[in-house]
Amino acid sequence: METKPSKIQAATRRQALKAGLAVATLPLIPAIARQAAAQERKTTTVHGFETAADIAKAEQEGEFLYYTHDSEPAAAGIVEAFGKDFPKIKGKYFRLQNSSLFSKVLSERQAGQYNVDVIQFSEPTTALDFQKRGGYTRYVSPQASFYAPEHLSNPVGDYFWVGVTFAGIAYNTEKVKPEDAPKGWKDIVKPIWANAVNVKQSNSGMQFVQWYELRKLYGDNFWKEFAKLKPRGFDSRVQLFDRLAKGDDKLCALAEFAGYLLHKEKGAPIAFVAPEDGLPASPLLNGVADRAPHPQAARLFVDWMMSPRGQAHQQNDKYLYYGSVRKDAPPMPGGTRLSNYKLLTPTDMTALMATRDAFNAEWNKMLGML
């Protein structure tokens, strides 16, 4: 169970976010050019993309540590793909769900430990909070020009949107009659799903976003009705879809499209529903950590992640399938693009963060974790 933050910690996060929003509204396009020029760095083209990292020094460093919210196979696949392009640099990773990862890195820094080189969060207020705490090393990648201003941090160079994950509804086609199949979000609170529906735990950034967006659409009572079904909560989307595929659960209420594709390709008897009201979506935010022990390797890794090579891996790896926001990104598997879906993405970070404690309390109580 995730440790609930103290009132002082929660207040600090809200204050940091409020202070940061004024900065976040400044124009970004001129900033990219100004900050890139200010770095006065030499760029190198490697594997078809530009990097401002010193590749020779990165190879001397020989390694980097990557903190991520992604699953074990997803994280392993990312560092392995990078390693194929840069075999002299060994990537290591550590993974936890979003809130737990944030708590870990804060605890390390309070103890004077600076272990991580690159860090990725799955929820925007976490990245903004980390930014206001000085958690990032500002590095304006040559790849930043391939991203729209809204997909970069402000000021530019702290983090970028490595991709977007979004969720609909999924159900087991062998356990659910056609006439009972859900068509929209309001269908997930029907009594037929009692003791047969799953979700993620409260430390998931994506779960927080879904709770927030559907609460805005349908009101406070929506999730109260859902709680009556006694849903089961798990740490990862792999667990959710494994249970759904085996028939242990009939319905997945947080069905990330990436998880659906992976299990559908394995022949699982499942179907995906994209409600007309929209699909909750969350950006995945990646950047070089402050005081990174391997700064050049970290910069090179971020450049690779932003490049067509890294983005192709994000979109096509079976454990990821994240939609790319890079301007020249090809379609996702199946020929779809993010623009093909109506996405529900939080825009008011202050309002989102103000509900975090309420979400934790409601979700943990619902899952019997209090």
Q: What is the CATH number of domain 166-281+351-362?
A: 3.40.190.10
| Reported CATH class of domain 7-164+283-338 | alpha beta
Q: What angle do CA 170, 171, 175 make, to 5 degrees?
A: 170
**AA identity, residue 293:** P
What tokens were used for 216?
């805005």
Tens-place pLDDT, residues 50-98 = 999 999 999 999 999 999 999 999 999 999 999 999 999 999 999 999 9
Residue 367's pLDDT band, with cuts at 50, 70 and 90, is very high
What spatial distance separates the first Cα and last Cα of the chain, rounded to whole Å? 8
The per-residue pLDDT for 40 is: 59
Q: Beta strand 118-121 with 279-288: parallel, antiparallel or unpaired?
A: antiparallel
The per-residue pLDDT for 337 is: 86
The per-residue pLDDT for 334 is: 81
The per-residue pLDDT for 333 is: 86
Instruction: With both helix axes pointing from N to C terminus, report the angle between 98-110 and 124-132 in degrees, rounded to the nearest 10.
Output: 10
Report domain extents, the chain. 7-164+283-338, 166-281+351-362
Taken in order 68, 207, 1, 14, the sign of the CA dihedral is: positive
Taken in order 181, 253, 214, 285, the sign of the CA dihedral is: negative
